């Protein structure tokens, strides 16, 4: 793994109970960051990959600092309370990983309006609410890093995934625009596509990489300042067209 030192940094990871979120949370902790993990529930999960409590226990078992904060980040008050607790208990907020997401399937003609609204709430609204909640602390510090987890679906058409593709395209445009808005405050913002990863979201597709494969590039991105901001990058290109070489 590329040498990254995040000692003294505080990171928030959404969707940290399992899969990509858990892998990134553990990777950040190994790099020295104190990690605030969040998910809707502390001790339960609709998936098969674990719980938020287990993620934080793994961080502690490895000698790291972890804080589990269950929250509904599709609610602006939930996002604000999460950021407030991170700042109050750990003193600062340096990194935000907007990882939580949903992956609904269905043709537009068959897509229930309430399912659309629920998808937008998680994939688009929550990253906005979280960024809105952490930016005051980052602006006060004069530094920060926001990484939004996107998907290759944002750039291509996938049958029965029009909704998901739309939400990720919106997230990428949000990332690019926010990067310019907060560059002068010392805050880097990037969007990153992890590629096909074997997680609950895609029924643990056997063609997918293990969640651990995403860690090196994600942690590298989380350590960047505004010399690397406003980008949409793919994990598969790490060390080839961007990042460590």
Q: What is the pLDDT of residues 101-131, one digit of tens each?
A: 998 888 999 999 999 999 999 999 999 999 9
Number of domains into which the chain is organized: 1
Q: Which region, left, alpha or beta, applies to residue 186 given φ > 0 means left and ψ of -120 to 50 means alpha?
A: left
Residue 243 lies in a domain: no
The pLDDT of residue 44 is 62
Residue 245 lies in a domain: no
CATH code, domain carrying 102: 3.40.50.720
Cα dihedral sign for 186, 241, 215, 153? positive
- Structural contact between residues 196 and 153, judged by C-beta atoms closer than 8 angstroms: no
Domain range for 111: 10-237
- Regarding predicted confidence, which is higher, 46 or 79? 79
- Structural contact between residues 36 and 90, judged by C-beta atoms closer than 8 angstroms: yes
Residue 242 lies in a domain: no
Residue 182 lies in a domain: yes
Q: What is the mean pLDDT of residues 8-26?
A: 96
The pLDDT of residue 117 is 97
Per DSSP bridges, beta strands 187-193 and 66-68 are unpaired
Residue 36: strand pairing partners: 12, 67
Q: What is the mean pLDDT of residues 212-227?
A: 96
The pLDDT of residue 202 is 55
Coil/strand/helix, residue 144: strand
Q: What is the mean pLDDT of residues 140-167?
A: 91
Residue 155 lies in a domain: yes
Residue 4 lies in a domain: no
pLDDT over 60 (residue 150): yes
CA neighbor of 201 nearest in space, from 164, 163, 243: 164
Q: How many other CB atoms are found less than 10 A from the CB of residue 240?
A: 9
Active site residues: 164
pLDDT over 60 (residue 178): yes
pLDDT over 80 (residue 204): no
Residue 2 lies in a domain: no
Supply the pTM of this predicted model.
0.94
The pLDDT of residue 79 is 98
pLDDT over 90 (residue 199): no
Residue 5 lies in a domain: no
């Amino acid at each position: 793994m590329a040498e990254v030192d995040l000692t003294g940094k505080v990171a928030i990871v959404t969707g940290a109970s399992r899969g990509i979120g858990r892998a990134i949370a553990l990777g950040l902790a190994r790099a020295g960051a104190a990690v605030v993990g969040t998910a809707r529930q502390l001790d339960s999960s609709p998936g098969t990959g674990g719980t938020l409590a287990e993620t934080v226990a793994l961080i502690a078992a490895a000698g790291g600092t972890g804080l589990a904060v269950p929250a509904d980040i599709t609610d602006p008050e939930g996002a604000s309370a999460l950021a407030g607790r991170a700042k109050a208990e750990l003193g600062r907020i340096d990194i935000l990983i907007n990882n939580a997401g949903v992956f609904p399937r269905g043709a537009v003609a068959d897509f229930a309006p309430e399912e659309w609204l629920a998808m937008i709430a998680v994939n688009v609204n929550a990253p906005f609410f979280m960024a809105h909640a952490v930016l005051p602390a980052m602006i006060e510090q004069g530094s920060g890093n926001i990484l939004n987890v996107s998907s290759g679906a944002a750039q291509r058409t996938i049958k029965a995934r029009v909704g998901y593709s739309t939400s990720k395209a919106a997230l990428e445009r949000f990332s690019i625009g926010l990067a310019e808005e907060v560059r002068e405050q010392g805050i880097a913002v990037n969007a990153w596509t992890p590629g096909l990863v074997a997680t609950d979201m895609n029924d643990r597709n056997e063609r997918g990489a293990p969640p651990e494969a995403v860690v090196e590039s994600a942690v590298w991105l989380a350590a960047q300042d505004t010399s690397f901001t406003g980008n949409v990058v793919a994990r598969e290109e790490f060390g080839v067209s961007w990042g460590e070489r």
